[in-house]
Amino acid sequence: MAKVILVEDDERLAQLTGQFLESNNFSVTLVHDGAEAVEKIVSLQPDIVILDIMLPNMDGFSICREIRNSYSGPVLFLTAKDSDFDHVRGLEIGADDYVIKPVEPYVLLARLNALLRRGGGPTASTDTIKLGQLEVDKAARKAYLAGDEVELTSYEFDLLWELANNAGQTLSREHIYKCVVGREYDGLDRSVDVRISRLRKKLGDNTDQPFRLVTVWGKGYLCSKSAWD
């Protein structure tokens, strides 16, 4: 039973959503106040977090930014704010998905399950990729650069693993969306581009002229084999 924290100030909506998720094998903790959400998420370490944006005392963007130092699980924004700016902003500060309200319950359920499948958890695999000073440990779901752990969200880890596992090969956006995001690329979604930008910053790449995670214009992205020494 997956543990989820739902942060939503509309108590009636939160109750209905929570009841639906509990009927589909989730253990749900409801939080209605933004200021309370950070403490709950950090202390309970749920399998997934659902965040509204417009909340009393602390908005969803601030909550997501605050928890990312101590919580690496998936975060899904469920909000009525549907501007591209808000969508991109949410991804840039560490969210894993962004769903616009109102949403059909089974669509929300599918998105949550896709995030949980991607996040995985401990597995029997002991696969480790080493590229110079970069080490990506699939079993532990951790990445290290020059011996120091790189703090990654679940989505960022999966993206890095896919790139590193295919180092030296150009991966198209279509491939990345299918293997990492779990759905077909619609030609418009910029979430992978945003995550690549965040990975570059965390991995010491040059954001203006990247040499580790390289953009191959018109084709996709490539993880260099030789740029990690």
CATH number of 18's domain: 3.40.50.2300
d(CA 180, CA 192): 9
pLDDT at residue 72, as a whole number: 86
> How much is the pTM?
0.57
Mean pLDDT score, 31-35: 93
Average predicted confidence (pLDDT) for the chain: 86
Using CA atoms, how far residue 24 sits from 18, 28, 75, 106, 109, in Å, is 10, 11, 19, 10, 8
Q: Which of 69, 87, 70 is nearest to 78 (CA)?
A: 87
CA nearest to 225, candidates 126, 128, 129: 129
User: Among the three residues 94, 119, 144, which one is the final residue of a domain in this structure?
Assistant: 119
Residue 117 CB-density burial (10 A; 0-12 exposed, 13-18 middle, 19+ buried): exposed
Q: What percent of the chain has pLDDT over 70?
A: 95
Last residue of a domain, one of 71, 97, 119: 119
pLDDT for the residue 116: 85
Strand partners, 214: 222
The band of 40, judged by pLDDT with boundaries at 50, 70 and 90, is: very high
pLDDT for 8? 94
Residue 68 located in a structural domain: yes
- Domain membership of residue 20 as a residue range: 2-119
Q: How far apart are CA 166 and CA 180, in angstroms?
A: 13
Shared-domain flag, residues 104 and 137: no
